[in-house]
Each structure stands twice: as structure tokens, then as C-alpha cells.
Amino acid sequence: MPITIESDLYWIAQEALNNVRKHAAARHVAVHLHFTDSSIILQVVDDGAGFDRQVVPDEELGGLRTIAERTARMGGVLTYGSTPGKGTRVQVEVTL
């Protein structure tokens, strides 16, 4: 794995965990890193407050926006889902 991808994934995990700390009021958070021969998948899942994307303005999505920018620079794909009261899942997949 190239050092730049390793560094970017570390930064993304750190930012996602910071978002959990600042916004989620979660009781549990899990970080999963899955390697295959052709890809790496980073997933951060919490059981916190969650949010409704239709209600939260773009300017309040700063952490997710910077995660998206860094993911795009790596050529990766960011997906996330969140449900109010049920937590948030952030996933980044990078093809090697």
C-alpha cells in the first residue's frame, strides 16, 4: 500500500472519529479496516445521534466534506448513511 494512501486513510479515520466525538454523543463506535488484494475499505460506525441530510446545511458538514475531498484525491469512493437517533456509518473504499 502506498504511503500516501496509508496517510490519507489514517487522517480520514481521525476526522471521522473527531466527528463522532464532537457531534454524535455515541455510546459505541467501531473502526473496521478490510484489506483485499485489490482494495482497502475503511468503515467508521457509531450508535450516536445521527442526522438527517435533508435538514443539516452544507456548512455544518465540514468534516464529511473534507473526508470527501481527500477520498476523491486518492481515487476512492466515499459513502455514508445516517439516521436520526440511530447513528452514522462512513465508508471509504480505495482501489489499489
**d(C-alpha 15, C-alpha 21), whole Å:** 10
Kindly list the structural domains of the chain, giving each domain's residue range(s) and its CATH number in brackets, ordered by start.
3-95 (3.30.565.10)
- The model's confidence at residue 2, banded by pLDDT at 50, 70 and 90, is confident
**d(C-alpha 26, C-alpha 46), whole Å:** 6
- The answer to whether residues 12 and 67 touch, using CB atoms and an 8 Å cutoff, is yes
> What is the predicted pLDDT for the residue at 53?
74
> What is the predicted pLDDT for the residue at 70?
94
Cell of 86: 440511530
pLDDT tens sequence across 25-78: 999 999 999 999 999 999 999 999 998 877 766 666 678 889 999 999 999 999
> What is the predicted pLDDT for the residue at 60?
64
Q: What angle do CA 95, 89, 7 make, to 5 degrees?
A: 45
- φ, ψ (nearest 5 deg) of residue 9: -65, -40
> What is the predicted pLDDT for the residue at 91?
98
- For cell 469512493, name the residue: 77
State mean pLDDT over 8-19: 96
Strands (DSSP E) found in the chain: 29-35, 39-46, 77-83, 87-95
